[in-house]
Structure 1
Amino acid sequence: MSCQILVLYYSRHGSTQRLARAIARGIESIEGCEALLRTVPELEGERESQTDAIATLAELKACDGLAMGSPVWFGNMAAPLKHFWDQTTSLWLSGSLIDKPACVFTSSSSMHGGQESTAMSMMLPLLHHGMMLMGIPYSEPKLHSTTTGGTPYGASHVANNGVQLSEEEYTLATALGQRLASTASKLKNAN
């Protein structure tokens, strides 16, 4: 039985998208798990390069797990991602996301740009939907040594040196994807 994990993100300049792709690689390294990369539409205008499809509520409802990512916007998730969640009342009423595992990821232009508060802002709708949140445990060695991104709240990237992920950021994002997929697979196969 295939386990499908939705990797839902918003990315303006590509950094959050790169984290999404690293998490997707981690997800797909777990046998029987598939990553579904999806983004959300702009609220105004068009993004320069949008390569992934727009997420639907049906995909969110059907997923076995969720990884959600946003760049830091003044210490909060980006408005287009928040707008997507503001449209999920029907899923909340039906309890469609209850007990599904989820994690978050973010990127900022500086080390102290608000990664932790942005991660926590993304966790709020997930908690209201009854999802089970997971972060990166300190059993991941790179979490102890990173000088760029990566937090116990979730994967992160500091983009002050460009959109490329550091070795630590990539390793931690992949590990988060593996942890999410492994958990989602165990939960799905237990039912």
Structure 2
Amino acid sequence: MNQNTLKILVLYYSQHGGTQNLARQIARGVESVAGCEAVLRTVPKVSSVCEAVEADIPAEGAPYCSAEDLKTCAALALGSPTRFGNMAAAMKYFIDGTIPQWLGGELIGKPATVFTSTASQHGGQESTLLTMMLPLLHHGMIISGVPFSEAALSRTQSGGTPYGASHTAGQDGKAGLSGEEQQIAFTQGKRLAELAVKLAV
């Protein structure tokens, strides 16, 4: 990696793969911008069993996010499935633990964007995206969405909003990303990286 490469953190939680697939498309968009590298990271599950612990390294998928990942990123894309119109508990637990980064002002002035996946088209996508923005605003981040210059926003019959990419996964969580969902996520990642480049000047 070039020393001047900007690290764009794509941080997500995914149980059935929908949010992970969006994260991968966002990462593709990030890496379409010269000088930017997508860093895919996830967070561990939250357990109701007090003694339950996750391995330090996940069995599959992206590594867990570290304090160093947050500190060194030039921008952040944050993704979670919808849980009753809000982010999943695992992501909320992780975000609630970023008080040291808030106290240190480590994320102030960095661009950020959000994305989500739901079982149904009216399963709380937009409220989840909006509520995910709130802690990022408290961190002093600059929120980026998806403008309607992306034509897929007007064509989509599944996921996709101006607040961020979304995916309609179906009741079994197995539906793949539609063409529009892929394009919107790609555009979102590209736009985030472009903003990071401009702000790094």
Q: Normalization by structure 1: what TM-score?
A: 0.95
Query: 1:4 is matched with which residue: 4, 7, 16?
Result: 7
Partner of 1:30: 33
Q: 2:181 matched to 1:169?
A: yes
Q: Name structure 1 gaps, 5 residues minimum.
A: none
Q: CA deviation at 1:147?
A: 0.5
Query: 1:43 is matched with which residue: 41, 46, 65?
Result: 46
| Counterpart contact for 1:14–1:163, Cα < 8 Å | no
Q: CA deviation at 1:15?
A: 0.4
Q: CA deviation at 1:121?
A: 1.4
SS in 2 for 1:113: coil
Partner of 2:121: 111
SS in 2 for 1:53: coil
Q: 1:73-112 residue pairs with structure 2 within 5 A?
A: 73-112=83-122
Q: Which runs of 4+ in 1 moved over 4 A?
A: 45-49
Q: Which amino acid aligns with 2:74?
A: D
SS in 2 for 1:38: strand
SS in 2 for 1:31: coil
Q: Which amino acid aligns with 1:158?
A: T
Identical-residue share of aligned pairs (%)? 56
Q: Name structure 2 gaps, 5 residues minimum.
A: none
Query: For each residue in 1:120-149, what CA deviation from the matched residue of structure 2 results, as whole angstroms up to 9, or x when unmatched?
Result: 111011000000001000111110111011
SS in 2 for 1:84: helix
Measure the CA separation in 2 of the matches of 1:56 and 1:84: 10
SS in 1 for 2:87: coil
Query: 1:127 is matched with which residue: 137, 146, 151?
Result: 137
Q: Which amino acid aligns with 2:154?
A: H
| Counterpart contact for 2:145–2:164, Cα < 8 Å | yes
Query: For each residue in 1:69-108, what CA deviation from the matched residue of structure 2 results, as whole angstroms up to 9, or x when unmatched?
Result: 0000111100010111111111111111011000000000
Count of matched residue positions in the alignment of Structure 1 and Structure 2: 189
Structural RMSD (CA):
1.5
Query: For each residue in 1:126-177, what CA deviation from the matched residue of structure 2 results, as whole angstroms up to 9, or x when unmatched?
Result: 0000000010001111101110110000000001173310000000000000
Q: CA deviation at 1:51?
A: 1.1
